[in-house]
Structure 1
Amino acid sequence: MSAFAHLGLGGAALRLEYQWVGVADSPHPTLVFLHEGLGSIALWKDFPEQLCQAAGMRGLVFSREGYGRSTPRPHKERWPVGFMHRQAWEVVPALLQELGIERPWLFGHSDGASIALLHAARFAVSGVIVAAPHIMVEDISVSSIAAAREAYLEGGLRARLARYHEDIDSAFWGWNDVWLDPAFRAWDIRDQLPAIAAPLLAIQGEDDEYGTLEQIYGIARLAPQTQLLVLPQCGHSPHRDQAGRLIDAATRFMTGTNRSH
């Protein structure tokens, strides 16, 4: 059952839907899930529950503003190039404080993975797992996002996504417009990665249609504690394409680190 957190940030009132999953009385740090650019609580389906049960952890799943049942993006408003920085450095800290979460584990996918990395560069976390992260913009990313625009306008993508968002245009155009903005080609968070001190697991599929393996190799060069997992026959969503292997790897990584706390 979802609940709502009410945050006041910079004069704006945000209502964020959230849901607790996993082991309620776990002694380990809370695992916070950060969704992809078109994601929401509903689009994760049962993956967070499965991972938290396997790891013996309590989890928090939430929909960012503009997504799911959270405050929608005003239709005339465009996300700025630094929208992920704002999420990582303003919104996520405010939500964690509101819910009494300290030193969480972070599990981020795609845009949510980038937000997780940015948050961990400035705030204390127990560890970070990123799946299909973006640390810079590649041609393959822009091409696939342009193709998604056509699928939304002419294909069945809009209908498929509508079940996961109360305001589907808020979710889609907020993501699509900023990624296809020529100014976004300069977006790059590699300068933040050396500040991450926490344990880090970076995962990507060999067939990721939104990024090359340089995304995770780049993380490992800049944050040397990074462990890498490359998944063959896997696209941009490892938690859907290879959920079992991802859960096993993430559980081993977090369990080993948790036991050392």
Structure 2
Amino acid sequence: MTSAAKVYLVGAGPGDPDLITLKAIKALQQAEVVLVDDLVNPALLAHCPQARIVPVGKRGGCKSTPQHFINRMLVALAEQGQVVVRLKGGDPFVFGRGGEEMLALRAANIPYEIIPGMTSGLSACASMEVPATHRSYNHGVTLITGHTQDGEPLPWRALVESHTTLVIYMGMQHLPDISRGLIAAGMSPDMPCMVVENGTRDNQRAAISSLQAMPYQAHQQGLKSPAIIVVGEVVKLARTSQQEQDWQQNLQRWASLADAA
């Protein structure tokens, strides 16, 4: 391994290619190999025309590159003397498995650097003008995954009793379970809820509803991953389109339909 060899674990930001840090761009400009996730905006690869691009996508419910294979590839490329960028959507340390990759590099004595990125959950909130925290509504925000590795239920009661904004990643396939779990644990069925698909991108779509009605509404609107689910009073502050205003006016109708389903 040459002295120049190094691995950068880089956050690409939430999707809008302008929402990447200058430090991340500098790393891309010196990269010889870039291992890139599926959710990274392809426009960002213009910053590394000299690099070899290796797709290593990981998507829930889709064919994915095994994490242990990615770990070994990072180590092997660095041992060959390469400058490597592992380009990950959002932030590498927020549900991006950056911690696993860091530990693999550390165990192999590979030089590495972490370059944070704007995480997609908070960026999706901002794109809808929803502050994740607001002192008139809450005292914090909780970032959680919509499912656990072992399939165990999420700690619904603890999440409800936290009285924080819930920003849920990778939860669209489990949206009905999330809604039922939170309500069963004591959250109001009328708690404002928002789903943002492709947050910050040109093709962003969003739905605003009650927690109880959201699974039905998201299904009706055809919202799919990648999407962020936001639950909390701050959702009331969203700047909505006329269509979304119409949805809000029909919350009681959505709720009654959901009850009857």
Report the TM-score, using the length of structure 1 for normalisation.
0.31
- Larger helix share, 1 or 2: 1
Q: Which structure has the larger Rg over C-alpha atoms?
A: 2
